[in-house]
Structures are given as C-alpha cells and as structure tokens.
C-alpha cells in the first residue's frame, strides 16, 4: 500500500545526500532474506490497542489533485484498523504501515467513531481517498457494514471515492456494492509496485504475481469502478539504472490494465527491510533525476488515455527521493505540475544542476559492480 504515513509534509529532517551505496542487483548478493523480513515484521507489530486508541483515525489531510481533467483538492483519511495480513507474515520490503495499526481488528463502532471524527474536518472536497494501512475490502480490517456506512457518509458530497486493497479481496460484487452506497465514481487502488514478476517477488516481496493485479483491475472494471496502480521506484537490491528501467517497463505493461498509474519513489519508513539496509549503507532512496527520467519516458510508453502521476512522499528529504537538496524543490514542483496537467514535456527541459553529473557518475560506478571503487 502506498499512502503517505504522516501526510505529504510529515517527514523526518534531512541529513544530506551523501554517496550512493552500491546495491548488488537481483542476480548478485544481498537479495531479500526471509529471516530479515520476518524479524522486521515481528518487531514492528504493535500490541493490541485500547478501545480509546481504536476510536481515533491515524491521520487526515487535504492535497492537490485532478479529477477528470479538472484541478481540485482531495481529502485523505487513514483509518486505524488491524492492517495488512501480509505485513504480519513478512510484508513488503518498503512498507512500515503496520506501525499505524491496532494489533487487532477494529469493531464497527470504533470505525464509525473514526469516520465521525474525520467528518468534522471534511469540507466537501470532491475527491475522497480512504486508506486502512492494508486492504479496505478485507473484512478483518474494515467490516462490510462499516464500508457501506463510510461510503454513505460521503454520498452526495464527494464525486469520487478511492479505496486501496490487495487484489485477492477485489470482486465485481464488492466494487458494485460500494458504488451503490456511495452514488458517485469509485476508484480502487492496488499496490502493484512492479509489473515484472522477478522484481515483485524478490525485491518487493509481494505475495502475489503481477497477473493477480491485472485480473483484479479487470474485476474493478466489471464492477463499474476505475482501477489505479501504484508503482514503486527503486525497491532494494536494484541499481539506480535497473530501477528506472523496471518502472518504465512496468508503466508500459500496467497501462494496458489500469486507468491511472502513480509512481511512488521509495521513502524510508521505520521498521522495514529498506530501512534496515539504509542503516547499513546498502540503500539510497532514488534521485529526483531518476524520477524525472522515469516520468518522461513513461509518458511516452503508456497506453494513450492512461493517467500518469507522481506525488512523492518525503520528497527533497534524505529519507525520500532527493538530489543535492538545493535543486530539489524546483524539480518536485515541476513534477507536481506535470502530474496535475498531464503535460510531461516541460520535464525534458528542466534547468540542470551540478548534482546531475554526480547522478550520472554514480550510475556508471554501480554498473561496474559492488567491488568497484
């Protein structure tokens, strides 16, 4: 799943870019070990929360968005639920959302109170996005009655409701039923991350292959909804160049199945395999130059009509996508503008910076392998 854990600007302070650690590539040493993933998963899982904690949502905020070509604002709500079942077992290498969960299932009354509190902050934003740090359609996270109560609460006030889920919980009936309760457009987001099976299995550590996500997108469409996929830029164990190529290739493949593709550069979340590697000098979040190249090339290979966006979390911060931290702001603003306007041509002629040479130089060094210096 890909919601920002603390909101668009809620990120830790930066410490400078530093030299890029050299990943070893999927064919070399350092591929994910089940023991790291399992021990990280055990450490981050919270103890069962009190009823008082369960009556408060994790976070909410508003953000810029576009809806059917029109600029608008979105209301984002993170519910506190039991969270993702896969995160309990091993979890994905970049995901630390289990820390935002209850450690047990929420009751209908607890979810109702979270929604009631959130509605006090809702000002009829036309786009509403609801995340549960897992799967909205998993009844262990959001009971079926709570799903429909939530959708009804925004009925007539919002035009589009987005929820996120793993593919195994999507069927035509539950998408159709949500549309009926809401009465507007329903968008179902799936954390595909990569359309390449080996990257998904070995670097991201997802529990389903890309084909499961493509099939789920088909079921979303059958239920009358729109399908959105999140693609991850630079999972661990890939070089910077491999990561760019993986995402561009994934856009070409996934755009055949999804209406919107959102490219999310990895940001370091606590209690994850990626953070474990970062602390040992084995991982650097992607460069903004990489994101720029990825977006420019992706805009050329996507299926016509597929919406392509990127709204990075912790951008311009050492724990998120960053350059030298001096040119970052201007580039991130250009990326946001391209995502809202769907015009990626301006990204081809951005002002350069001396860190661009370092970005190119480090890619050359990475290509020589882990022992080059």
Residues of this chain that interact with ligand SF4 (CB under 6 A) are 1, 84, 86-87, 91-92, 95, 97, 134, 166, 191
What Å distances lie between residue 187 and 59, 161, 173, 184, CA to CA? 21, 6, 14, 10
Nearer of residues 91 and 236 to ligand SF4, judged by Cβ = 91
Pairing relation of β-strands 260-265 and 307-309? parallel
For residue 199 the two structure tokens come to: 């990257």
State in angstroms the smallest separation of the CB of 254 from ligand SF4: 16
State in angstroms the smallest separation of the CB of 84 from ligand SF4: 3
Phi/psi zone of residue 231: left (φ > 0), alpha (ψ -120 to 50 degrees), beta?
beta
State in angstroms the smallest separation of the CB of 20 from ligand SF4: 24
Nearer of residues 73 and 208 to ligand SF4, judged by Cβ = 208
Nearer of residues 1 and 195 to ligand SF4, judged by Cβ = 1
Nearer of residues 23 and 91 to ligand SF4, judged by Cβ = 91
Nearer of residues 193 and 366 to ligand SF4, judged by Cβ = 193
Give the number of other Cβ atoms within 10 Å of residue 279's Cβ. Answer: 10
CA angle 74/268/309 to nearest 5° reads: 35
Contacts of residue 52, defined as CB under 8 A and 6 or more positions apart, other chains included, come to none
State in angstroms the smallest separation of the CB of 134 from ligand SF4: 5
Contacts of residue 222, defined as CB under 8 A and 6 or more positions apart, other chains included, come to 172, 175
Nearer of residues 97 and 154 to ligand SF4, judged by Cβ = 97
Check if the beta carbon of residue 61 is closer than 8 Å to that of residue 8: yes
State in angstroms the smallest separation of the CB of 112 from ligand SF4: 23
Among 8, 10, 21, 101, CA closest to 365: 21
State in angstroms the smallest separation of the CB of 87 from ligand SF4: 4
Q: What is the rounded distance in angstroms from the CA atom of residue 19 to the CA atom of residue 361? A: 11
């Amino acid at each position: 799943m890909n919601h920002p854990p603390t909101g668009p600007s809620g990120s830790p302070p930066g410490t400078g870019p530093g030299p890029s650690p050299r990943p070893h590539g999927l064919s070399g040493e350092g591929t994910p070990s089940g023991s790291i993933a399992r021990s990280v998963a055990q450490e981050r899982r919270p103890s069962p929360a009190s009823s008082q904690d369960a009556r408060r949502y994790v976070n909410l905020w508003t953000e810029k968005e576009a809806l059917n070509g029109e600029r608008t604002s979105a209301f984002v709500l993170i519910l506190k639920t039991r969270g993702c079942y896969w995160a309990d077992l091993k979890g994905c290498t970049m995901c630390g959302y289990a820390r935002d969960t209850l450690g047990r299932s929420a009751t209908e009354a607890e979810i109702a109170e979270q929604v009631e509190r959130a509605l006090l902050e809702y000002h009829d934003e036309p786009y509403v996005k609801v995340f549960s740090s897992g799967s909205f359609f998993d009844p262990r996270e959001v009971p079926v009655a709570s799903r429909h109560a939530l959708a009804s609460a925004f009925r007539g006030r919002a035009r589009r409701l987005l929820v996120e889920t793993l593919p195994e919980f999507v069927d035509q009936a539950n998408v159709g039923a949500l549309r009926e309760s809401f009465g507007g457009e329903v968008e179902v987001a799936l954390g595909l991350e990569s359309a390449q099976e080996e990257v998904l299995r070995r670097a991201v550590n997802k529990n389903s292959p890309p084909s499961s996500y493509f099939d789920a997108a088909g079921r979303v469409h059958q239920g009358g909804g729109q399908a959105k996929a999140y693609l991850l830029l630079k999972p661990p164990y890939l070089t910077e160049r491999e990561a760019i190529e993986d995402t561009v290739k994934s856009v070409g493949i996934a755009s055949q199945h999804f209406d919107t593709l959102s490219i999310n550069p990895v940001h370091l979340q606590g209690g994850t395999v990626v953070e474990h590697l970062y602390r040992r000098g084995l991982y650097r979040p992607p460069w903004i130059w990489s994101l720029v190249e990825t977006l420019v090339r992706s805009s050329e290979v996507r299926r016509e009509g597929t919406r392509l966006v990127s709204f990075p979390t912790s951008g311009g911060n050492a724990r998120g996508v960053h350059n030298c931290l001096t040119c970052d702001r201007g580039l991130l603003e250009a990326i946001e503008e391209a995502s809202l306007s769907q015009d990626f041509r301006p990204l081809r002629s951005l002002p350069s910076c001396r860190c661009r040479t370092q970005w190119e130089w480090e890619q050359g060094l990475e290509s020589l392998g882990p022992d080059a210096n």
